[in-house]
Each structure stands twice: as structure tokens, then as C-alpha cells.
Structure 1
Amino acid sequence: MEASPLTHQARPSAFLPKIAQLYDDLFHDNDEDFGNSEGFWLEFFSLRPDRHETQQLFFRAIQQAKTGRAPLDENALDTLTVFLGTVLAKRYTNPSADIINVLAGLDEVDAVFLDFANTLEGILRQGRSFEHIQDVPTNPAVFKPILLLGLLANYNKFEFRNPYRLRLEEFVNESAIQKIVYGFGATCSLSRNRYAAIQDDVPEGWTVGSTLSYVGLGLLAPRKTTAPVLSAEEAKEAFGELPGPEASILLSAYDLTAANTLFTTTLLSSSPSTKGHEAPLSSFLSYTSYLLHHAYRSPRCALYGILSLSILRLILEDTSTAKLLTTPGTTLSIRLSRQVPPFLPPSPHPRAPISSLLDICIDSISHNLRIRLDCNLYHSILTLLHRTLTHLSSTRTRLPYHWSLLWQTLLSLLRFLTTYASSLTSQNSPESLHHLLTPLLCTLALAVSEGESFLPEAESYDDLFYKLVEAGSVLPKFKSAFFSPSSSSPSSLPTSTETSQSTAAINTLLHIVDHYHALLAAEKEKGRLGKTLEPREVGRVIRTGLETLDLPREGESGIGVGGNGSGNVSVFRGWAKWREGEERVFLKRVARAAVEDGRRVVDGR
């Protein structure tokens, strides 16, 4: 018969369960190092755990956390983080009942959990989560409290008035908000660097060190030791594992942007905290660029990419914050992804932040084209692009930019949709296609009807019409594929403002093409054009043709009458504002992903 591992000890003055005595030996300083003894662990795991001890740990940690006495409260919170991370990561037969038994016991669960919730709320209300963090830009400790804030604010927020979300609306502690903003920027920078570590994407001819130093990021420049170059297959696998769990901080940033204007204005206006660091907005836009550059690699990457686009959409839909993206004198150097061709034009000089936003849209459109198109992703990209041009047009902001690349990208997308129309209509619902087509068509129609208000010179405006006329043969096929009664298209949907806009937009584009084709044919008949049309000759016809081109006036859904549309307000500027209730399915998916990533962070995975 095998001997028992339990040892006989002298009779104590007071009886304790054996496991309680072992707990005491393990957690108290003793001369004997129990933790390194094989016999100790053999005996330890031969006994059943004492739930009373775990309940006491949970209860006592709560009591210390709410005292407000440093460092006891901070250490208690760290203990709760480790303890709950371990408890909640386990698999249970009856999860709710088992977790209650471990943490509080059935008789005390209501009182203990209420005390726990009130303690967390008190800490968040006082802002003490961030006060002890001094060097926020480089201190990873700031990530966890920001993430916790976002997770609490999202808990069942569509089922009841979440008190944490309401608290975000009232939160006006400028010092704490600034630390949150810098912590958010630092996390975005760290997450972006994970992509850059896999593949160096600095433009050819530039050295990493000189480039980073030029834009004030010399601390990010590599040292003499260089990372090994990955093969194409290794890089593909490494990219597929990103983004890391730190991406979950985007959920917190979304809720703060939606609820708290102070957070948004601080994010948009904060300078680099110290020399060698990026401005928080630079880090966020840079990380967004890398997320969307690789969005096709996994549904999770696309999910976080769409969340970043949603944050930017909220900023643009608020006139008070949107103007901060184009404020004269406000320029930023932003590292945008160039890891997979086609590449964005390199921009080493600081620019208005809205220029980088346009670049992100162009790059996202180019790199995620698949026959099985992610309609939600493209709807988000094109909606943001439409909001951007609307803002530029309504504020009459003439923006220096490589506009030709934008028109080329949009028309290439239109050709792609036309080419694969049958696959797209069979794979997607009419509603999904409708949400994708409307912002695409309205963006093009807005550009041709109001381009003079935001394009820096006449040549950019002429180039838009040139490219549209050049793609003229595609437009009738596009309309036939998506707007004919026989197609599963927006025209088969119930009448709405968006369907009216998309129909008016395609008709406007076709009207422009027909107008110029007629002028070109007339010029040919008069012998003013050669057999082969030269770009210079077409450009001349386009410039003169603007004088007789009718474009929509304000309030009209069709083609306007008389004049060239100068000074008119386009019907294509209108859009529906972001409403959380309409996005609940998407936001719940994001929240689930953020919870899982939060567990990975707590577990150290």
C-alpha cells in the first residue's frame, strides 16, 4: 500500500484545516523555502482547495482598493487583476455558480459584488487610476486602466443606461484626460511598431534612421543590430497574427470620442509629450493605416480597422472637432503603411492631418479588393471619404493633395465592381451593396459638382473630368449591373434618401460623360480633333465644356437647369449621422473581441 504524502505534525493549540496551514506557509515569510520543495507541492495538491480563503482574498483586496491610501490601494488592484485573470480564465462546469462560490459565496454575492462595483466606480470617478503614472508615453501600465474603462462602459450598454458610459460624458478632469490621450497614443505607437518590425517599409532611398530623425522620431530608429529578414511565408504568418491584444484599446477610444468632446479635442490638439515621441493623433492615424493596409488578412483585423474608421467618422461629423484636422499651421508627420504595393506617394514633410486621412482611405481601397468583398469595410472607408470631402467643401478648404490618385482609385473601384457584379450580387444582400454603392457614387458626384470649392487649382478639377470621361464606357455597364430592375440592386429596395442619392449620383455621372462625348464627337466632325485623341486636345474640350455643363442644384434629385452650377450647393453633400443604435451588431462584435483581447493581456499571452 502506497504511503500517504501527508505528514504528521504536533498537536496545535487551535485546529485549522491542513490546506489553510499550507496557504499560510506559502504566503508568509519563513525560514524554509516551501515554494521550492517537491514534497510541499505534492502535499499541497493532495488536498482540496479552501474556497473560504479565495473569498477572503477577494473581499480584503476590495477593502484595501477603496481606502485611497497608496501604495495599498494600487497593490490591491494589481492583486485583483492577477487573481481575477486566473479565476475567470478557468473553464467551469457551471460558470456562474462556480465563480460566485470562488469569489464570494452564494450568501454574500450581492453585497460583495455591489461593493466591488462601487469601489471601481469610485476609483474611476476620482481619476486615481492615472495619477500614479508619471511617464505616460512610455509606461505600459496606463493601457490596462484605459481598457477597463472601455469594457465597463460597453457592458450591456444597449440594454440599460450604463453608468460608466454616462460617467464618460461628465468626465472633465483635464489632467486625467491628457494622460489617457498620451497613453492611447503610446499604445497605438507600440502596436504599429509590431507591424514595422516584421517588414521595414521606409521608402526606397531613405534610411530608417534619417527618416525617423527627420520627423522627430529618432528614438524609434534601429540601432546597429538589425532584426533578421523574414521570408515571404514567414512574414505572411506574422502579419496574420496581428493586431496584438493592445488593439482592444480602440474600443475605449471609440467610447471616449462618442461621449466626451474634451477627449477628442485633446487627442487632436496634443503635441508630442517629449522629444523623440509622436503626437497622439500621429500614432493613432499611423496605426489605423497599418490595420487597414492588412485588413483582408483576418476578420479580427478588419473589425478593429472599421472601429478606427468609426472614430474618425465621429470626429468629422462634429464640426467643432473636424476643423481641427485642417486648422492652418497644424501639420503632422505621420508614418503610413507601405508594406504591400501599390504604395502611397511618400510624404516626408508635415501635412494637414486630413491629408493623411485621405491617404488612409485610398490605401485601404487598393489593398482589400477581393471577389468576396468585405462590404462593411468598404462602406466604412467610402463613408469616411465622403464625410471628408463634404467637410472640405462646406468649409471651402482648398487642400494641396495628390487628387489625381484619389480619382484614379475611386474609378478603379467602380471598374472592379462592374467586372465582378454577378459575383457581388450573388454573395451579398441588396442592402449591403446599397450601403457600399451610395457613398462611392455620392463621393464622385460631390467632387464633380463642388470640386472648385476644395481643389487647389483648376488643373485638378479638369483632371477629375478627364478621368471620368476616360472611364465613360464603364458607367452604363455599372448602372445596368446594379440599377436595372432585373438586378438585385439598390433600385429594388424601398425608396429612401440614400437610394434617391445613389440614383441621382449615377445619373449625374452619366450625364457628364454624355455631355463630353457629344462635345468630342462634334469637335471631330468639325475636323478640330485628330483620329487619335490626344490628352491635350481632350483637356481643352473639357475646359470649354464646363461652361455649358448643367449640374444639380440644392434640393434637386436630378440634373440641374441652366448655368455651370457655380455657387450651387450639391445634393450629394447630405448624409445620415452616426447612430449607435443602428450599429449595435457591429459594436457588440467589437466588445466581444475586446473582452477576449483583454483576457489575453491580463493572462500575459
Structure 2
Amino acid sequence: MQSPTSTEFNGIIRPAYGTKTVLKEKFVEIYESFFKGNDPSAGQPNFWSELFLLKVNVVYLSKCLSEISQDQLLAIKNNISKLFLKSIETMKEESVQRKINAIDTLCALLQGIFSKRFNNFCFEIITLLTGLNNADTVFPQFVDTIKCLMNDGETAEVKYEALRLAIVVVCGNSNINQNSLNGYFMKDDIFDPLIKIILAPETSHVAYEAIMLLDILANYNKHESKNPYLIKLINIKNEAVFEKIMNVLATTCVKCRSKYIAIQDDDEANKYFVSSLATYVGSILSWTGNGTKKLSNVSDPELAFVRLPSANISILLVFYDLVNNNKRFVDHLAKSIIKFPISAESKVNERDSTTITSSIEIIRDGPYFCDFLSISSYLLQHNRTNRTASYANIILLILVILVEDSTFNKVICEDERRFVVRLCRQRPPLLQNAKFPRPLVGVILDVVIGFINHNLRRKLQTDLYSMALGVIHRIMSFLKKNCVRLPYHWSEIWQSLIGLLKFILSNIEHFQQDRDSVNEVLLSAINIINLSVTFGDDFFPDPISYDNLFYEIIRAKETFDGLSSIVNKTNFTKPGSPAKSAFQKTASSSQFDVLSNINTICTHFSLKIEGWKLANRVKSITPEQVYSIINANYDTLKLNTPEKLDHYTPYNEIPYHVPLLRQVLRVIVEDFKRREVLIE
């Protein structure tokens, strides 16, 4: 391998005028010698003081580190250790410029070292930087220095540089639980300085980074030991902190959504006809020819969508952790919706990214939560990779937790408190266009239905479908218990659920290896239909909604007949057996024939329809005539009233979701390391 010290590139080594002699930047000359294993500081008492006055050539330093091997690094570990220690010493000096240069040096040095694939990551990192014997002396001083600069740095730039250095260290390994350096941040936590940066006007532009670092630290070995960041996160009471976090979250969501719209503007997609879900079989349809506008400079929209969302969407982890751990935050979220006038017709989700001002304190005309729902719609409909699946998990878990909260549910179900939310309309089948003010619970249902409709694949993401169905079930349970009549296009739910059942039935042979998980999805979808059949009177807005439900069930008679044979052969959760996940149906509700009422409806009305056709001597029948027959024969229909259809197991992260969230955390840390600066 060519030595990095002999590499030449523009801006680092330049020819002198009129001669072949090459003049080297002093910084380059010093580090060239440094990486050869020489000690340029020998016999130079002012060497380090002068070095840290030089502007750091990050490009050159990073290039040197990228081109040197692990073994070569270990061979010059004395130089590496000396540079690390001298940089820490310089961070404590009074000179602001030296501090910043020292931090820039450390960031480049540590990023280069962390990028190496050491056999024993933590052991060899510590060996390089301090040696094992000095680690417990040097690293606490290092963390304390970072903490002091974040808290009391002379300028906003110094505070940000210290924050940036902390991020480099904490995220050195995408699996933060295997980065033992993070243990030093547990012993001397930087929670208060991070909160100070989040709230201070002069550091408002880096609030995103501070919020993310705080939450990543709160996830470090949180199930194995006491985590001071998580404990303090749970106990946050300051509503100014909640407000700032939601402001940053909402702004980030709008920016991330704008990248989807830049690929394909879906604002006028409602003008074009798309086939109903009943004919949708889950294939990935073409991006073109569906009437949606597409920007001419995007040659391959499908490939462009796969690369989204932006890495900054990693902030969704913060939202999840607060919703899951801090009830005061959920209450604040509800209050942030309540504070808008009842007559408000929010346009918040129509904001273009170019309208975001340089200040994070922008004037809003709708709740922050609307921006989260909007980006959720786009992300869930374009879920095509393991990376997007990680974020889909986070989104659906957030929704599950929120719709379990009775206070939050009351707010989002208020018919008088309506908002407009822009939802994704880039992929058929399209839901009814709802560009009018409505309760947010209807928006949540649309977001979830969008996921169900656009992720029907033979490699079915059963965990995500269980969560999505769990959201619908929890909402219906709340509506039923509180007798809330929700104006909503309920027929879309029936079509989506029946479409899901039909898809599973037609591909049942492909699900043999994952049969238990698929069975759980089947049971959850059937349970929602049973809940609606039995208790729809409590939450449907009008009789026609019931008619629509029965009409869709009758239309899907063949599907339910096919499912009957599967359900009869399927050993669903038995009484006393452990539940597979937090979204699985309770044992007591599985003791009756889950298709009994549905089959009764199909049989009862099919006989009535055939009788009507015979009496009227016709071979076919119109939908209007079917509706008329349904209305005329409710009185003779006898159904069972199963118990506990509205019961569910409340969400708990432990133990079912711990492995999943650890995988998600790695994706989020990796994304955070390649984040964009969204707020300038």
C-alpha cells in the first residue's frame, strides 16, 4: 500500500511559482513526519503550542488515516497517544482558537480510528489512545473537559465543537452498547449541558444534534444497568424542553417529507382514477402512468425513493423514547393540539421546506403532531428496505403507545378540533382524498391503512402488520368504550382488511415457515371485523356505515370460506399459552370460532340475495339492490356476542421488543453519523 505521507492532492501540496520545488503546507509537513513514525516534537518545547495554532487540514488528516492500516496505526501508537493527550490538554487552555483546532484534530483522528476494523474494537482503541493502564485516568478527564466546554464554552462555536466531539466518541461504534468508552459518559453524565444547549438561543441551530446525542446516550445498555440519561429523560418536567424537541422534530419531518415531494409531486394525484383495493394483489406497481406529476430531472423515481428518507429522520427515536417513557411529554403533546382554536383549518402540512426560517421558533398554524403523521404516511408507503422497516417499526410503535393513552385519544377524537394533514398519494391504490379539516384520529387511520395497502408482499412483514392492526384495534376499542361516533370513510378499512386477508389466503403456501406470525396477523384482522360487526353501533356515525361493512363482508364470501378451512386447521393461541407478542389477541377471546359471525352474515344474506334473484327472475344484481336486501333483513339475523373483543395487551418494550429496538438503534446511529445540517 502506498504510504499516505507520500500522497499528493490539490490544496495540500502546491508548486512554487517559476520552479519545480514543491512547497508543503506546514500542517502537512508535520503530519507527514508524524505518520512515518517520527516525533516532530522532539527538542521543540513550543511544538504543540504552535501546532494547535495552525488551521487543521481535516481533508489531509482524514485521508492519511483512511489510507493507513490497523497494523500501521498500532506501530505508531506512541505518536497517536501523544497527539490524543496533547489535544485534551489544549482543550483546557484559554485560547479559543487552540481549543477549536484541538477539537477538530480529535474529531478527525477519532473518526479515522473508529473506521478501522479491529479484531477487538474497544481493547485496541484504548491501547492506541491511552494504553490500558492510563484509561481510567485519561478518559474521565476527557469527558469532564467536554462537559465543561459544552456548559461554559466561551462562544457558541466552542460549545458546538465540544458537542461534535462527544458525538464522534459516543457514535464511534454503530453498536453503541459495544463501545466501552460510553461507560465514561455514564459515570460523569452530560445531561444538563445538553439540555442547556437545546434551550439556549445562541445554540438553537445545533439543538438537533444535542437532542439526538442525549437520546442515544439514554439507550446505552439501558436494560443491563441504570442509565442516568434515561432516568432523567423519564423525569423531565420542563415544558420548554418538550416544546423545543417537538419543534425540532416537526421541522425535521417537513424537511424529510420535502425530499419525497421533490421526486414526485403528488398534490394533484386525486384527479386520477385508481382501481379499488379489492383488485389490488400486492404487486409493486409502476411509478409512471398513474397520473401523478413527476419532476423531469428524476430519471428513476423508484431508485430515488429507495434512498429515502433522509438520515435526519433518525430523530424519530427521540419521539419514541419520550412517548414510551415520559407521560408528561404525552400530555404536552395533547396540549399542543388543544391550544389551537377549534375553528382552525390547519395548513401546516402544506408548508414547503423553503418556508422554514433560520429560527426554530416559527409561527405555526397547526400542531407539531401533524408533521409527524405526514412524514409517516410517506415513509410507510415507500417501505422497501430493511432501513425503512426500522423506521416503520418506530412509527407504528409510537402510534400504538399514543392510542393507548385515554387523554390523548380524547383530544384526537374531538370532532370540533379538525386539521388538514398532507398524506402520501404517490402510489396506487389511493385512499379517498381528504384535503379538508378532520379529527386527527381519522388521519392516523389513513396512515395505517396506507401501510397495509402498500406493503403486501410474499415476504410479509408480519411484525409491522401486527403493529398496524394493533393501532386500528386500539382506536376502535376506545371509540367503543366511550361511544364516540367517528365520521370516517369506514369502507376503506373494510376493503384494506379484506384485501389483506385475501392476499394471505392466495399466498398461504409461501408462509409455511412463518405460519405463527401470519396466523397472528390473520386473527388480528378478523378480530377487528368482529369488533365492528358486534359493536359498530357504538362508533359508526350513521347506519350506512353498517350497511357498507356487511356489503364488503358479503362480497368477500369466497375469501372467508377459504379462511374457514385455514382457521379450522390453525392452532391459534390456546388458553394459558404464552403470547407471541404484545399485539397478539388475549387467550380468552380465542375460545370462540373467530369466523362464526362472519360466516353467519355471509350465509344469511347470500340466501336472501339468491331468494330475491329467484323471486325477481334475474341472474345478476346491482350493489343498490344488495344494500336494499341488507337493510330489509337485519331483523332476522342472529349473531353471537363474543366477550373481550375490545381487550388488548398494553404495550411494553420488555421483553418482546428489546432485540428489535437494538437493531433499530444501530440503523439510527449509523444514519445520525451521516446526517445533514437541516437547520442553519
Q: Same fold (TM over 0.5)?
A: yes
Q: Counterpart amino acid of 1:166?
A: I
Aligned to 1:349: 436
User: What are the superposed Cα offsets for residues 171-195 of structure 1, whole Å, 9 maximum, x if unpaired?
Assistant: 1121112111111111111111121
Q: Find the aligned partners of 1:328 and 1:112 in 2 and give their Cα distance.
A: 60
Aligned to 1:196: 261
Aligned to 1:565: none
- Which among 500, 510, 516 is matched to residue 431 of structure 1? 516
Aligned to 2:409: 322
Aligned to 1:399: 486
Contact (CA 8 Å) 2:191, 2:229: kept in 1 or not? Answer: no
Q: Find the aligned partners of 2:564 and 2:56 in 1 and give their Cα distance.
A: 77
Q: Give, in angstroms, the shift of residue 16 of structure 1.
A: 4.1
Q: Give, in angstroms, the shift of residue 322 of structure 1.
A: 2.2
User: What are the superposed Cα offsets for residues 457-506 of structure 1, whole Å, 9 maximum, x if unpaired?
Assistant: 111111111111111122121121x3233x6x637998575466356432
What does residue range 259-408 of structure 1 map to in structure 2 within 5 Å? 259-270=325-336, 274-275=362-363, 279-295=367-383, 297-408=384-495
Change (3 A) 1:298 1:17: same
Aligned to 1:252: 318
- Which among 81, 92, 99 is matched to residue 125 of structure 2? 99
Q: Give, in angstroms, the shift of residue 237 of structure 1.
A: 1.5
Length-normalised TM-score, structure 1? 0.78
What does residue range 17-36 of structure 1 map to in structure 2 within 5 Å? 17=42, 23-28=48-53
Change (3 A) 1:182 1:536: same
Q: Find the aligned partners of 1:490 and 1:446 in 2 and give their Cα distance.
A: 18
Residue ranges of structure 2 left out of the alignment (5+ in a row): 1-5, 7-23, 31-39, 144-184, 272-292, 341-347, 349-360, 580-584
Contact (CA 8 Å) 1:399, 1:454: kept in 2 or not? Answer: yes
User: What are the superposed Cα offsets for residues 200-233 of structure 1, whole Å, 9 maximum, x if unpaired?
Assistant: 1112489xxxxxxxxxxxxxxxxxxx9952456x
Q: Is residue 450 from structure 1 mapped to residue 450 from structure 2 by the alignment?
A: no
Contact (CA 8 Å) 1:85, 1:599: kept in 2 or not? Answer: no
Change (3 A) 1:528 1:393: farther
Greater mean alpha carbon deviation, residues 375-384 or residues 263-272: 263-272
State, as a whole percentage, how many aligned pairs show the same letter. 28
Contact (CA 8 Å) 1:191, 1:246: kept in 2 or not? Answer: yes
Aligned to 2:81: 51
Q: Is residue 129 from structure 1 mapped to residue 197 from structure 2 by the alignment?
A: yes
Q: Is residue 511 from structure 1 mapped to residue 600 from structure 2 by the alignment?
A: yes
What does residue range 62-211 of structure 1 map to in structure 2 within 5 Å? 84-114=110-140, 116=143, 117=185, 121-124=189-192, 127-133=195-201, 139=205, 141-204=206-269
User: What are the superposed Cα offsets for residues 292-340 of structure 1, whole Å, 9 maximum, x if unpaired?
Assistant: 0111x21110121121010010001121222221234322221111111
Q: Find the aligned partners of 1:447 and 1:289 in 2 and give their Cα distance.
A: 25
For the aligned residue pairs, the C-alpha RMSD in angstroms reads: 3.9
Q: Find the aligned partners of 2:121 and 2:387 in 1 and give their Cα distance.
A: 26
Greater mean alpha carbon deviation, residues 267-276 or residues 390-399: 267-276
What does residue range 581-592 of structure 1 map to in structure 2 within 5 Å? 581=654, 582-592=656-666
Change (3 A) 1:77 1:28: closer
Q: Give, in angstroms, the shift of residue 263 of structure 1.
A: 2.0
Aligned to 1:601: 675
User: What are the superposed Cα offsets for residues 414-451 of structure 1, whole Å, 9 maximum, x if unpaired?
Assistant: 11111111112x241x3211321222111111111111
Q: Give, in angstroms, the shift of residue 131 of structure 1.
A: 2.0
Q: Find the aligned partners of 1:73 and 1:266 in 2 and give their Cα distance.
A: 39
Change (3 A) 1:248 1:535: same
Q: Find the aligned partners of 2:44 and 2:321 in 1 and give their Cα distance.
A: 45
Contact (CA 8 Å) 1:26, 1:35: kept in 2 or not? Answer: no
Contact (CA 8 Å) 2:234, 2:326: kept in 1 or not? Answer: yes
Contact (CA 8 Å) 1:127, 1:173: kept in 2 or not? Answer: no
Q: Give, in angstroms, the shift of residue 80 of structure 1.
A: 7.1
Aligned to 1:209: none
- Which among 626, 643, 648 is matched to residue 575 of structure 1? 648
- Which among 457, 464, 484 is matched to residue 549 of structure 2? 464
Contact (CA 8 Å) 2:191, 2:214: kept in 1 or not? Answer: no
Q: Counterpart amino acid of 1:27?
A: F
Aligned to 1:549: 637
Change (3 A) 1:123 1:75: farther
- Which among 228, 231, 235 is matched to residue 301 of structure 2? 235
Q: Counterpart amino acid of 1:186?
A: T
Change (3 A) 1:98 1:374: same
Q: Find the aligned partners of 1:91 and 1:101 in 2 and give their Cα distance.
A: 14
